Amino acid sequence: MDLKFYFFKYHLINLATFDIIQTKKYRRICGGLASNIFKFAFIASYHALTSVKDKEFLEKNSYEAAINFLALGMDIEKSTFWIQHDVKEVLELYWILSNHTSMGLLERAHSYKDKTSRGISASHGLFSYPVLMAADILLFDSNIVPVGKDQIQHVEMTRDIAISFNHAYKKDIFVLPTAKVDENVATVLGTDGAKMSKSYNNTIDMFTTSKERKKQVMKIVTDSKELDEPKEWENCNIYNISKLFMSIDELKNLQKRYETPGEGYGHFKLTLLEKIEEYFKPYEEKRAKLLENPKEVRDILEFGASKARKIASEKIREIRDIVGLI
């Protein structure tokens, strides 16, 4: 059976800009997939409503997030790519699945506890977030879900919900998805050493001005060692981010610089900044061209939505019949 690949990018859409973790994960996981693997990717606009309460912000950033995907090389012929709210069937499935999701399962969600502890308002939407995520995945019979280590639980919850539904109706309606973790980017640390996330304001944006990117890099948290002291690279936030952009030889050279007195963390930050700008330059150029052609971008999104709706409508019709919504 051909694999169906579900590419989930919910950081991006929560606050609708790309950061390094999104870029590296997309290019590593999606770049070398076999041609018989179906890839699904969408801009999670419904999920964004848990934290975004500004119409213009959501519209603008959802659109620009789509451009970011395309600039990175999203192949619309080999992938199905759309904005979430253009495929309304996911909301119907979300409600159906809610009736097969226990409160205990949702109460154990790490992401809910983490986000509320960081000041994000507790709401029903945030609490039931994993159910909508499950609907996103199950609606397309997804076999594989690429995630970071912190998101493995979401896939496990999706499996639990699918098993509950399948058991209730004594049919294997839903495929049980498997989490795929790329160890190279399993968890990317942000400028403060915590998981990189827009919600935590610790990202280095891929598409931004040179001035803003430099500001983000220069605020990377380090210890207070002086210029004339050797420095430890193993647990340094600058070095950890540098691993995403440097070759083995370049990293060995950086290690020597850490161990040799005479340079400060500001020097290492500038080296990192140079590597980031070098890496993203071709994508920035492609993005600029896409920004000049909004009709092309919207046509691409509608093309993807039409493909997604065809699959979703067939699946939801099957589910309605099984549960008695006829």
Give the neighbor-by-neighbor strand order of the sheet with 144-146.
Answer: 79-83, 38-43, 4-7, 144-146, 178-180
Domains of the chain: 4-188+294-323 (3.40.50.620), 208-288 (1.10.240.10)
Q: How far apart are CA 79 and CA 315, in angstroms?
A: 19
Six token digits for residue 206 = 């891929």
- Locus of tokens 């397309």: 140
Cβ(150)–Cβ(186) below 8 Å = no
Question: What sign does the CA torsion over 29, 309, 175, 49 have?
Answer: positive
The pLDDT of 166-190, averaged and rounded, is 86
Closest to 18 (Cα-Cα) out of 156, 208, 289, 151: 208
The per-residue pLDDT for range 189-203, each reduced to its tens digit, is 899 998 887 778 899
The per-residue pLDDT for range 66-114, each reduced to its tens digit, is 999 899 888 888 889 999 999 999 999 999 999 999 999 999 998 888 8
pTM, 2 dp? 0.78
243 pLDDT higher than 50:
yes
- Confidence (pLDDT) at 154: 92
Of 30-34, 67-71, 82-86, 157-161, least confident by mean pLDDT is 30-34
- Confidence (pLDDT) at 39: 82
Question: What sign does the CA torsion over 21, 24, 28, 29 have?
Answer: positive
- Confidence (pLDDT) at 184: 62
Kindly indicate the confidence band of residue 185, based on its pLDDT and cuts at 50, 70 and 90: low
Kindly indicate the confidence band of residue 14, based on its pLDDT and cuts at 50, 70 and 90: very low
The pLDDT of 278-283, averaged and rounded, is 93
What does the CA dihedral 244, 152, 178, 161 come to, rounded to 10 degrees? -150
Q: How far apart are CA 190 and CA 221, in angstroms?
A: 9
